[in-house]
């Protein structure tokens, strides 16, 4: 499953390079800790922060 997703993302990235599209937004987003979506109108999305609270089971 992940292999197919990675293959699709690689194909998309190589297509952008082939068309000489600006791909710097990917690097800028990665440096900010964000991830990109495929929707151009909301391309950069923040990465959700992990939950720092520890849950304990009642004994």
The rounded distance, in Å, linking the Cα atoms of 38 and 51 is 26
The rounded distance, in Å, linking the Cα atoms of 15 and 39 is 16
Cβ(35)–Cβ(29) below 8 Å: yes
Residue 57 lies inside a defined structural domain of this protein: no
Residue 22 lies inside a defined structural domain of this protein: yes
Residue 35 lies inside a defined structural domain of this protein: yes
Domain that holds residue 42: 2-46
Task: Give Cβ neighbours of residue 43 (< 8 Å, ≥ 6 apart).
Answer: 25, 36, 37
Residue 58 lies inside a defined structural domain of this protein: no
Residue 59 lies inside a defined structural domain of this protein: no
The rounded distance, in Å, linking the Cα atoms of 35 and 19 is 22
pLDDT tens figures, 7-26: 777 777 777 777 776 667 76
Task: Give Cβ neighbours of residue 57 (< 8 Å, ≥ 6 apart).
Answer: none
Residue 23 lies inside a defined structural domain of this protein: yes
Residue 32 lies inside a defined structural domain of this protein: yes
Predicted TM-score of the model (pTM): 0.34
Q: Mean pLDDT score of the chain, rounded to an integer? A: 67
Q: State the pLDDT at residue 7.
A: 79
Domain count, the chain: 1
């Amino acid at each position: 499953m992940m292999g197919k997703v990675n293959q699709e993302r690689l194909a998309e990235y190589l297509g952008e390079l082939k068309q000489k599209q600006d791909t710097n937004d990917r690097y800028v987003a990665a440096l900010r800790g964000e991830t990109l979506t495929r929707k151009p109108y909301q391309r950069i999305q923040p990465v959700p922060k992990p939950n720092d609270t520890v849950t304990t089971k009642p004994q």
